Amino acid sequence: MRRLAYVSLLLLLACDGARASVEIEADHVAFLDATSRRVVIQLDLLGHDQLGGGVGWYCIRTTFPKDPGPVTTCANDLSDGDRKSVRITSVNDQDNSASIDVRLRSNDVDDGRTLVAPVR
């Protein structure tokens, strides 16, 4: 019994870091349409799980400079190898080259990046 407990402890210590995560594979920024200055971003996500299962909850927090506050979207819909595209649209018109802050949190992984609004 002690041997089993010892082996279990070694396995737990060997599994250092997050077992599951979500990665932003690509990001795209564009105007919503030809007449609007509202901006839409698209994030292409990829799920990772060392055991081949679900990656658990992840949240995307997006801050557009001229919007009243950040937009947070959470989901629990990815498994290992799953891909998904998420689109988030600004509420208000945005300036040319405005900085858009995006933060993806999944388990112990925190991926923050700054995107730039297009120029028209």
Q: Where are the domains of the chain?
A: 18-116
Q: Which position has the token pair 């028209």?
A: 120
pLDDT score recorded for residue 2: 61
How far apart CA 23 and CA 49 sit, in angstroms, is 11
Residue 93 DSSP one-character state: -
> Taking CA 73 as the corner, what is the angle to CA 72 and CA 75, rounded to the nearest 5 degrees?
145
CATH number 2.60.40.10 is the correct assignment for the domain at 18-116: yes
Split at pLDDT 50, 70, 90, the class of 109 is confident
The model carries a pTM of 0.82
* Tens digits of residue pLDDT in 34-89: 999 999 999 999 999 999 999 999 999 999 999 999 999 999 999 999 999 999 99
